Amino acid sequence: MKTNLLPSIILTTALLVLLMGIYPLTLWGIAQLAPNKGGGVIIESEKGKQYTTIGQAFIADHYFWSRPSAVDYDAAGSGASNKATTSAAYLAEVEQRIAAFKAKNPTVQTAEIPVDLVTASGSGLDPNISVQAAYVQIARIAQARSMTAKRLEQLVATHIQSPLLGVFGPQKINVLELNMALDALE
């Protein structure tokens, strides 16, 4: 036992220094090189209102809807629902979201609804939706805003973000930026 005690104490101390000191300070230092010194990106609307780039709750008919949030878009309590995909409560919640979506988007078939419009992300704060999620909402928004679907399709196309380095992840659309551009059209 004595032969294992000293190496264990040394290893524990080394890991504490590394993981509680060196690693956080390194990340903090790197963040200081980022825009806004790692404090997140602030987006300002034409009316002067400021938004952070975390997920926002957009549920009005005249906006592109956000991805659902298990934490009600509260950055202080980031997290998922932690329910299994086989959980009856989880499946009922998803079915309820599908029904709510179809009620407001009657032209969209159930099979056409992208999964990101009815399931929350792992953090509950995802600011992006898939390109398909934006396109399936166009008919509802066009009707609510008395706009042509073609004009909205062009707006969506200009807000598609490519994958990181062209290969990591899918194409996506930031819902806040898209809705701000939508408001600027009027």
pLDDT at 77: 73
Q: What is the mean pLDDT of residues 156-179?
A: 90
Q: What is the mean pLDDT of residues 160-184?
A: 89
DSSP letters for the chain: -HHHHHHHHHHHHHHHHIIIIIHHHHHHHHHTTSGGGGS--EEE-TTS-EEESS-----STTSPPPPP-TTTT-GGG-------TT-HHHHHHHHHHHHHHHHH-TTS-GGGS-GGGTS--SSS---EE-HHHHHTTHHHHHHHHT--HHHHHHHHHHTEEPPBTTTBS--EEEHHHHHHHHHHH-
Higher pLDDT, 128 or 36: 128
For the chain, give the percent of residues with pLDDT over 70.
Answer: 98
Considering the chain, what is the average pLDDT of its residues?
Answer: 87
pLDDT at 124 over 90: no
